[in-house]
Every structure is written in C-alpha cells, then in structure tokens.
A and B are shown apart, each in its own frame.
Chain A
C-alpha cells in the first residue's frame, strides 16, 4: 500500500459531546420523575395537588424520558463515536447529524409538555400523539440515512459486529413504530387507534416487547461490542459467537411478543409459540452476555481498579439476569404470579438500571476524558457512583420481588369457608407500603449516584481542552476487489445494503407470524350481540380516563382464575372489547381491576371516591381528583370523534354525529339527578359526570345477555 493513496479525514467529536450531554441531562430528569412517581405510591400527597404531576400522567413521562431521552441519546452518542471510527469515515452528512440531534431533543421536549397535559394515546412506550409520532419517524429516517450514507462512503471494507447491531436496530424500530402508531386523528392532539380491543392489545405488545429488544437491547449490544473491548484493551472473546448470536437474536426476538398476553383471547398456538420462542431466547441472549464477560478473561485485575470496567461488568451481568428472568416469566404458571404485580417492575428495572444505565455510565466515563484529551477528574468519585448505583439497584429490585410475592399470596388465599381471605384489594396494597418506601430509597440512591457522575464529568471537561475533531487517515477502498474465495457472511459484511435486506427479512418473518394471527383474530373473537358502542357521554368519560392515565394502576382484564373471578366477577371475554380504541387492559395493578366495576357501587360512591378516595376506602393510596368536579368537560369535538369512530367501523347510526351532543346532555342529566337524590349537587358538564357514566358502563354489557337469557 503506498502513501499516495492515503486519504485524510476528521471525526466529528462535537456531535458526540452534545448527545453525551443530552444523555446526562435527560437522565437526571427521567430518574427524578421516577423517584417522584415512586414516592407517590406511598405518599399520594407528593402529586403536588394538581393533575399535571399526578402518578397517572408522570409515569409515562418517566418511562418515555428514561427510554427515549436517556437511553436514546446514549445510543446516538455511542454510535456517532464508534461508527465513523470503525468505518474509517466521518458521518456522512453533518447537517443530518445536527438535524437528528435537535429534532430528537425537540421530540423529547414536546413529550415532556404533552404527557403532563394528558395528551396521550395511552399505549405503553408509544403514548405520544400522532403529530409527534410523525416527527419521530422523520428524525429516525434522517438518522438511518446518515448511517447508510456513512456505510457507502466507508474506507473499511468489512463491517464490524457492532455495526450490524446498529443497522438491525434502526430497521426494526422503524417497522415497529409505524405499525403500532397507526391511528386516525380526530384533531391535532387526539386520535383513535386503528386497531380495537384484542387486536390493539396484540399489536401493542408486539411493539412493546420488540421496542425493548431493538431499542434497549440490540443497540446496547452493539455499544458493548465496541466499548467493552476498548476499555479492556483486548479484542472480543469470540467473533464466531457474535455472528451466531446476532442472527439468532434478531430472528427469535420478534416471535416472543405474545408472552405479554398469556391467559387472553389469543389463539392457543400463538401463545405456545410465544412461550417457546421466549425460552429459546435464553440461548442468543446469553451468547452475548458470555461473549462480553469472557472478553475480560485475563483482565479481571483491571476490573478491580478501573471504574469503567466495573460498570460494564455489572451491566453485562444484569443483562444476563434479566434475559434469564424474561423467559422464565413467559412460562404460564410463573406469568400467573408475576403479571400485574411489582415483579414486572423489578424485572424491567434490572434491565433498565443495570444493563442500560450502567453500560451508559461506563461508556460516558470512558469517552468523556478522551473527548477533552485529559484523564478522569476523580476515580474515587466514579467508584462512589458505582457503589451508589449498585446498592440503588438492589434496594430497588429486592423489595419489589418481596412485594410481588406477598401480594400474590394474599390475593389468592381463601379462608376455610371458601371465601377470599383478603376480600378487599386495599388490604394487600397497605401491606406493600414499606416495600414501596425502600424502592423509592433505592431510586434516590441511584439518582444521587448519577448526580455524582455529572459533577465528575463537568470537572473532567473543565480540566481538559475539548477536541472538536480528530484526525485520521486511511486508504480509499479499491474498486477492483477480488472477492474470490469469500462466501456468505464474509461477503455480506462487505455489502451493507444486502446485509440490511437480510436483517429486515429475518425480523419480518417473526413479525409476519405474529401479525397474521393479529389480523385473523377477529374471526377468533366470538361476537357478543349485547356489546354495544359507547354512548357519547361514556366515550368522553373514557377519554378522561385515558387522559389521566388511570390505566397506569388499574387493569381492565379479569383473568380466568378462581381468585380473580371471586374478587372481580366474570372473567373478561374477547368479544367485550370490540369497541375499545385503544384497549385499556393495563399491565400493572396498583389498584384493583376495574373491568367489572360497572354497577357495583352507586354513582355517589364514585363521586366521593374521586373527591377523596380515603373517605370510601380508608387507607387508600389513590390520589384524590377534586378538580374533576370543577373541570368542565370539553366536548366541542364530539361530532368529530363520532365521525372518526364511524370511519373505523364503529356502528353508530348515520347522522349520529349531529345528535351526539343532545344524547350526551340527556345522559348527563340522569347522572346529575341520581347524584342529587343522594344529596350531591354537581354541574352536568363536569368531567366527573362523564367519568362516572364510563365507570358504571364498564363490563356490564354481558350482564344484559345473561338477563335476556
């Protein structure tokens, strides 16, 4: 190779610095919101007495902030650092890089504003309304275009394993985001899901599961394959293993989604398929973990002295624990215990705090001094952070496991008379309060550790000089390349577009297998003739329920277990949800299931319960919603809502959009009268009236059938 063919170029460090700083800032914000939400679970007054900071609205704010803002920016920082260096070419287009950066921050900012305002689709990790969804798609495509452009301009013929992970993540997240966000807008800030009931649930959890896979797992495996060898200063343990585990992982992950919906109306074979593939997932997941840990063989002495490696070792270990626990949770009998309890919360936090958080910290501690051409300001502080974080994870997760088992055992206990031993759900929640306190303490410890890190990083930056760019040189790729004797993977590694197509096919096979039953599910949902569309007032009540994030604590899915049917009533039938857009089955019960709440209590009970839950259920941990009595419901867009639903196939009669207001007012008057009979004066156009009408309707449709028979 002669000198003349060498090309000089520069890596852009500024974009890495910006994404890195955004990671830290949003990380602190997201964790702080998490600590506030955790505090509200034992001290409801911590909602600051207003709807905007009440649990139902800040829980999605917390999840979105930590997933898309903290972890998202960390992924981008890592990719913008490693990809150019692995490909010997700067990122393709600087304008695109900056469009990506500012676009992403703007999306986060709009999420931070709209979620507290209650503008939400209520589908977990996809709560943002449709205009923001479109912005996400645009920015995501800009990011992908920038990566593909860099690949085309690369000077290194072969793609290192980290880059396959980046590419697969980009492609899959794009597919997932588009399919799950399909909705028909009513107005700028309100839309109805394109899917209803069981179908909506399936698409949502196909998305939810794979968002964890391709936003929280595969990009981080890519980062691990770059930064772990860098930090340990030795190559990855087995490159062969990385090839095998990459393809198996992206192939299998897409199939496992149905494990979120065990004991539902999903056809049996699809449930079994979901469980089988979840178990199979252990193999490729552990392939990654083993490869990461064994990379450190012979370097364990360094782990004792180097904080970067400490963080990474705990991260990879947490990944191994979470990916063993996940398949176990998809076994039906384990799932019966864990679903709706704090076990799931513990599981996701082992992954989130351990794997994502600690790998991010390790990466930042490694990268920051290099960007400023200096050394870390304080290794001691980094070690302090490490122990605060590790203890934080333990204080978080262990009480949650105890809480989950305690609650499950209490909920399913029957006394000698064959009645539920703890008939009131609240009896079990009160028992968990000490665990919730410990959990919040764990979260606070973890957050404090992160603050120590940010201080350390600021000091590190101050003592160094920022290097806006880094010079490098490499020969250009020769056009005439003799590929004789290269087969399969070795050849694919040279052809990014072909590689991307293959990866797409791999994920789509699993996706199609899951989506086909989703589309077919209608034929498997027995129609229940007495199930009717919501009345206009109930629809408004349902939208208020969605707006306030009630689904964050209350499920609407009674499972076919004796201890559930005894407690709540008849188990939920698939046919009951055909007009639910979006579905509101929920994933966690901090309060009782509400699917059979309709008609259980008088209207006045609901009124007083919403005003002050403690007055009806002494010791309740539910926050009060006194503003619902004063807030006027805005039903100016009611006609538009009815028309949108008609387009989606809800059988309202023709011209119903024009009568809807009258219909709503008539039903509201009835509720006002029933409240007045019990001595409660309330205006008919307040939110509480609509909410009561919705709650009283819930799960009552099948009773109508029973009465007829």
Chain B
C-alpha cells in the first residue's frame, strides 16, 4: 500500500536531483567551514591520539 502511495508521486525522477543538490550544498558548507577553521583548534584536534601519556588540559 505504501508502494501505491510512492508510485502515485509524479516526477519521482526529480528526487535524485534534489538529493544531489542537497549533497552539493552540504559539501560546499562543510568545505568552506573546514577551510575557515582556526589553526589552534586544528592543532588541538590533531594531537588527540598523542595525548595518551600526558595530561590534557580541557581546552576550548
């Protein structure tokens, strides 16, 4: 019965195009944001696996 519902949607082909657009916008968002990330934060995140032995300070 949900099959009938979906089948009755016209122009279902538009859905992949919409999701492709969602993906591109999302990707651009993540990309721009990653590029604008402050360096200290990057360095902090990068060093996480190395912090086992020494004490971490709870930085921002």
- The residues of A with any CB-CB pair to B shorter than 8 Å are 1, 6, 82, 85-86, 88, 155-158, 160-162, 225-226, 229-230, 233, 235-236, 239-240, 243-244, 247-248, 251-252, 269-270, 273, 472-475, 477-478, 482, 486-490, 493, 506, 509-510, 512-513, 516, 519-520, 522-523
Contacts and interface: CB of A to CB of B under 8 A. Distances in A.
Contacts of B3: 519-520, 522
Given A157-B60, A161-B45, 5 more contacts: A156-B48, A160-B48, A474-B55, A475-B57, A493-B45
Q: How large is the interface on B (under 10, 10 to 19, 20 to 34, 35 or more residues)?
A: 35 or more
B45 A156 contact: no
Interface in B1-51: 2-3, 6-7, 12-13, 15-16, 19, 22-23, 26-27, 29-31, 33-35, 37, 41-50
- Interface centre among B42, B48, B52, by most chain A C-beta atoms within 10 angstroms, is B48
Contacts of A487: 33
A251 B23 contact: yes
Contact of B58 (A225, A472, A478, A516): A478
A298 B1 CA distance: 61
Contacts of B60: 157, 482, 486
A183 B33 CA distance: 44
21 contacts: A6-B55, A161-B45, A230-B50, A235-B43, A235-B46, A235-B47, A240-B42, A247-B27, A248-B27, A248-B30, A251-B26, A273-B16, A478-B58, A488-B29, A490-B37, A493-B45, A506-B26, A509-B19, A512-B19, A513-B15, A519-B3
A239 B45 contact: yes
A513 B37 contact: no
A243 B12 contact: no
Contacts of B33: 487-489
B33 to A, nearest CB: 5
Contacts of A270: 16
A520 B45 CA distance: 45
B53 to A, nearest CB: 9
B16 A85 contact: no
A472 B37 CA distance: 30
A88 B41 contact: no
Contacts of B30: 243-244, 247-248, 489
Contact of B50 (A162, A235, A252, A520): A235
Contact of A1 (B15, B48, B57): B57
